Structure 1
Amino acid sequence: MTYKQKLAAIRQQMKDKGISAYIIPSADPHISEYLPDFYKCLHFASGFTGSAGTLVITLEFAGLWTDFRYFVQAGEQLQDTGYELVKLKVQHAPEYIAWLAEVLDDQAVVAFNDRLLSVLLGELLEKELADKQIVFKSDDLLDPIWDHRPALPKVPAFCIDAKFTGETVEDKLARLRAAMKAAKTNHHLISSLDDIAWLFNIRGGDVSYNPVVLSFAIISDSNATLFIDLEKVTEADKALLNLAGVQILPYGDIDNALTALPEGCNILIDPKRNCFGLYRLIPKSAVVVQDINPTTHFKALKNETEIEQVRLAMIKDGVAITRFLIWMEQNIGKIKITELSASEKLQQFREQQDGLAGISFNTIGGYQAHGALPHYMATAESDSEILEKGLFLVDSGGQYFYGTTDITRMIPLGEPTEEERTDYTLVLKAMIEGSKTLYPQGTCGYQIDAICRRPLWEHAINYGHGTGHGIGFYLNVHEGPQVLNPTNVAIPLQIGMITSIEPGIYRPGKHGVRIENLVLTVSHTVNEFAQFYAFETLTLALIDTALVKKDLLESGNVHWLNNYNQMVYDKLSPHLSEEEQLWLSQKAKAI
């Protein structure tokens, strides 16, 4: 079926069932960012491959609501599909709800698969459309037309030892129960896969790039139950979990477990990370407390064991990046290199490192104009040859058994233009400004975001994505609760958090520039004013100085850059050959 035929088939079902509007979110029952193939509904219905967006279909209009990162990509992918691009004004905002309030008649029927809608969105729909007395219905209109729909994954799961995580399952459960008690709850539903992976020291391969396993958990003040495909867990790991006080039940038993909750229990749920369908199974007699999962806060604060292993992962990753940069310089113009072949070569260098479990996301390798697409993903059709001119943006990461990495570097090719040099230097300055900031305890991400943007704002330049996100420990490359973006999210940065800093400049049709490091929040100073924190830069990879316009940098920026590149050389050189050491020493010279 073509996408237009699929849209027609969805609308026919809507007519048959009296549905006025149908909503298709990008989600699964765990409200994940990255999805198993079984739940890639946006791609199936419209051809859009981005990781964020919502399709809304009425009998007269069909649109994809998505943000700045995907405007160009969505515009191209939606051609001749019957869907139109609707550009979000605010990243991740459900602006389609206001649109539905305008176009729907009173008492219209709005349908969606309630297993793919978060509690937050479900309640927001009910609230915002209450005046119109909208009737809500859960229905899956895709499954009847999805021939050869992929099966749910069957990848084995495995437990990891506390000597790697720094904390046992028993200790994590004890901390969680203390948080539940403080929230005046005696039950807790967890659906988010990374929270479950962290809590039970378990990893899997059910989602590309994220080492998680499809599962749910219910924790009470006396029991812990993990709902998982039993075939995925070895008998030895089942025994380990049982010893930690964890009961293991089939994945599909979660529905019955929720309906059978004790009369009048108090249950804690995260409204952003549980689906509306499960929420509606909770008995009416239960007292529901909505708040962020305590485990989300716990896992954001990396312990010393995790931090030391992440530092090791950064050395491994830095070696791979260095060898890739050398390979690019030595081979550009001599052999044919494309966006895809360069990304494959980078992955090969990572695979040569001990402990690599895979890559942490699909590599963004954007040459020239493709670099202006923040979440560009090269395909066989779009794959551009990389020539001896312009800029090549490479945003990539590795999943190591002892840490997760995420790094963006710019590779200059040939003689740069003044605009390319200026953009590169301003982005570098923005990244440095954030990295060297001292900030008092209680500082939130939006404050650091503004500090990073200031060097660009001074030139009337801005970018449409956040400046940074949290990073998991051998877990999801995007992790909360902290985030560096303009939204007034009242989550302060705390000691032990690992966060990216990745400002950018994007000029459509020309080039994109983004430079990204990962930083660790550490204690810096305690005085009569406050406790001050700082960022320790964890990422170890050369920042090329060939494009730098030194007159645009302040002395503190130059000092930081020279010290950083020297640190990269000092820490990586023992792991490099003499030839590689010589190359890096020349590139890392102070400016």
Structure 2
Amino acid sequence: MNYTEKLSAIRKLMLTEGIDAYIIPSADPHLSEYLPDFYKCIEFVTGFTGSVSTVVITQNFAGLWADFRYFEQAEAELKGSGFELVKLNIPHTPQYIDWLKEQLTNGSVIGFDENLVSIIMGEMLIKQLASKQINFKHCDCIDPIWENRPPLPTANAYLLGDEVTGESMVSKLTAIRSEMKKSNTSHHLISSLDDIAWVFNLRGSDVKYNPIALSFALIDENQTTLYIDAHKLSAIDAEKLTNNGVNIAPYIQVGNDLQKIASESAILIDPKRTCSALYKSINNDVKRVLQINPSTNFKAVKNDLEISNTRKSMVKDGVAMTQFFKWIKENVNKIEITELSAAKKLEEFRAAQIGFVGESFNTIAGYKAHGALPHYATTAISDAKIEAEGLFLVDSGGQYHYGTTDITRVIPLGNNTEEEKTDYTLVLKAMIEGSKTRFPKGTCGYQIDAITRRPMWEHGLNFGHGTGHGVGYFLNVHEGPQTINASAIPVSMDLGMITSIEPGIYRTGKHGIRIENLVLTIADECNEFNQFYAFETLTLAPIDTTLVKKELLEQSQIEWLNNYHTIVYDRISPFLNEEEKAFLKVMTTAI
């Protein structure tokens, strides 16, 4: 079936089920950002390949809600599908609920697969549409029409040793049970895959770019059950789990076991990371405590070994990035280089590093106007040839057995305009301003966000995405609970957190500029006013200075940049050959 035929088939099922509006979220039962192919329902129905969106279908309208990062991509991919792009004004907001409220009549029925909707989203729908007396129905209108649907992943999973993680699963389970006791709960369900991976020191490859395995976990006061298909684990790892007090049960058994929790028990559940279907399977007499998974907070604060290993991964990544810069600058216009071939070459440089497992996300390689699309994904059709002019934005990252990286650099290739030079300098200035910030204990991400944006605001410039996100340890490249954006999220930037700082400027049809480093929150000065924290920059790769307009930088920012480049050269050069060292020396020359 083509996309219009799929839309027609869904509408027929809606009529059969008595559904007036059908919602398709970008999600799986674990509320993941990156999905197994089995759960890429929006891509199957609409053709849109972006990672964040929501689809709503009625009998006379079909819309896809996405934020500015995907506007151009969505408009191109939705052509001829029967779906219209609805542009979100604010990223990550469920504005389709307001649309449903306006469009639906009293007593209408909204359908969705409760396995793909979080507890908090389900409750938001009920609350915001209460005045319309809307009825809700659990219904899967996708599976009946999806011929040859990809199976659930079956890749092997494996346990990491304590010498890699720095903390045993027993220690982590003890810490979680302590938090359960504080919240007066006897049980705790974990659905989020990165949390499970952290708790059990478990890694896998069920989802591209994220080293996780499909699983659930149920922890009570006396026992722990890991719901994972047994064939994924080696006999040695299965025995290790058992010896550490972990029962192994089939992946699909979690719902049945939740139904068996005794009345008057109390269960701790993260409402943002648990699906409505599992929530509803719990006996009504069981008390529910809805709060963030304790493991999410624990996981965000890296231990000493995780920090030490992450620093090692940054050296490996910096070597690969330096080799990539040298290759592209020396070969542009000599051999054919395209966005796809450049991304492939970068992956090859990373793959040559010991401990490399794979990319941490799909490389964003945007030449000229493509760089203005923050989440641009090159296709065979859009693949642009790289030439000796303009700007080439490369946002990439690696998964290593000892860390996760995420870095964005812009490569000037020649004949650059004054506008490009000014924009480049202001983005660099903003990144430096955020990186060198000192702040009192308790400072939250939205405060760092404003500090970082200030140099751009002074010139009437801004960008529509967040300034930064948490990064995992050989785990998801995007993790919480901390974030650096304009939302007043009351999560402080605590010691041991690894976060990105990545401001940008995007001029549609012209160019995009984003410069990104990862930083570690460290202790700074303690005085009568407070304990102050600072950022240690972890990313080790040169920042091209050929476009920098020095007059736009403050002296402290120039000093930061020169000091940074000294560190980059000192730590990266021992792992380069003589030609590469000479190249890096030029790139890191003080301005």
* TM-score interval for Structure 1 and Structure 2 normalised by the shorter chain: over 0.9
Does 2:58 align with 1:58? yes
Shift of 1:12: 1.0
CA distance in 1: counterparts of 2:169 and 2:112, whole angstroms: 37
Number of matched pairs: 591
Shift of 1:587: 1.5
Matched residue, 1:130:
130
Matched residue, 2:374:
374
CA distance in 2: counterparts of 1:366 and 1:479, whole angstroms: 24
CA distance in 2: counterparts of 1:295 and 1:97, whole angstroms: 31
Matched residue, 2:164:
164
Matched residue, 1:263:
263
Matched residue, 1:419:
419
Q: After the TM superposition, which segments of 4 or more aligned residues of structure 1 sit over 3 Å from their partners?
A: none
CA shift digits 1:19-54 (9 cap, x unpaired): 100000000000000000000001001011111010
Matched residue, 1:111:
111
Matched residue, 1:384:
384
CA distance in 2: counterparts of 1:461 and 1:4, whole angstroms: 40
Does 2:184 align with 1:177? no
**Bigger mean CA offset, 31-40 vs 58-67:** 58-67
Matched residue, 2:432:
432
Shift of 1:342: 0.1
CA shift digits 1:134-155 (9 cap, x unpaired): 1111111011111100000000
- Identity, in percent, stands at 60
CA distance in 1: counterparts of 2:17 and 2:291, whole angstroms: 36
SS of 1:487's equivalent?
coil
Matched residue, 1:230:
230
Shift of 1:125: 0.7
Does 2:193 align with 1:193? yes
CA distance in 2: counterparts of 1:457 and 1:586, whole angstroms: 32
CA distance in 2: counterparts of 1:158 and 1:192, whole angstroms: 17
CA distance in 2: counterparts of 1:508 and 1:415, whole angstroms: 19
CA distance in 2: counterparts of 1:480 and 1:173, whole angstroms: 20
- Alignment-mate amino acid for residue 248 of structure 1: I
Matched residue, 2:537:
537
Unaligned regions of 5+ residues in structure 1, if any? Answer: none
Shift of 1:257: 0.5
Matched residue, 2:298:
298
Shift of 1:474: 0.2
Does 2:174 align with 1:213? no
SS of 1:493's equivalent?
coil
Shift of 1:415: 2.1
Shift of 1:378: 0.3
Aligned pairs for 1:287-436 within 5 A: 287-436=287-436
Matched residue, 1:147:
147
CA distance in 2: counterparts of 1:42 and 1:556, whole angstroms: 47
Matched residue, 1:444:
444
CA shift digits 1:290-338 (9 cap, x unpaired): 0000000000000000000000000000000000000001100100000
CA shift digits 1:499-534 (9 cap, x unpaired): 000000000000000000000000001000000000
Matched residue, 2:273:
273
Unaligned regions of 5+ residues in structure 2, if any? Answer: none
- Alignment-mate amino acid for residue 497 of structure 2: M
SS of 1:115's equivalent?
helix
Shift of 1:68: 1.4
CA distance in 2: counterparts of 1:56 and 1:479, whole angstroms: 27
CA distance in 2: counterparts of 1:481 and 1:169, whole angstroms: 21
CA distance in 2: counterparts of 1:540 and 1:159, whole angstroms: 29
Shift of 1:107: 1.0
CA distance in 2: counterparts of 1:509 and 1:264, whole angstroms: 60
- Alignment-mate amino acid for residue 266 of structure 1: A
CA distance in 1: counterparts of 2:550 and 2:415, whole angstroms: 17
CA shift digits 1:464-506 (9 cap, x unpaired): 1000000000000000000000000000000000000000000
CA distance in 2: counterparts of 1:71 and 1:100, whole angstroms: 21
Matched residue, 1:74:
74
Matched residue, 1:472:
472
CA distance in 2: counterparts of 1:137 and 1:376, whole angstroms: 35
CA distance in 1: counterparts of 2:394 and 2:444, whole angstroms: 28
Matched residue, 2:102:
102
- Alignment-mate amino acid for residue 81 of structure 2: T
SS of 2:179's equivalent?
helix
- Alignment-mate amino acid for residue 431 of structure 1: M
TM-score, normalising length: structure 2? 1.00
- Alignment-mate amino acid for residue 475 of structure 2: L
- Alignment-mate amino acid for residue 80 of structure 1: G
- Alignment-mate amino acid for residue 436 of structure 1: K
Matched residue, 1:587:
587
CA distance in 2: counterparts of 1:186 and 1:491, whole angstroms: 26
CA distance in 1: counterparts of 2:519 and 2:77, whole angstroms: 35
Matched residue, 1:505:
505
Matched residue, 1:463:
463
CA distance in 2: counterparts of 1:14 and 1:141, whole angstroms: 7
- Alignment-mate amino acid for residue 207 of structure 1: V
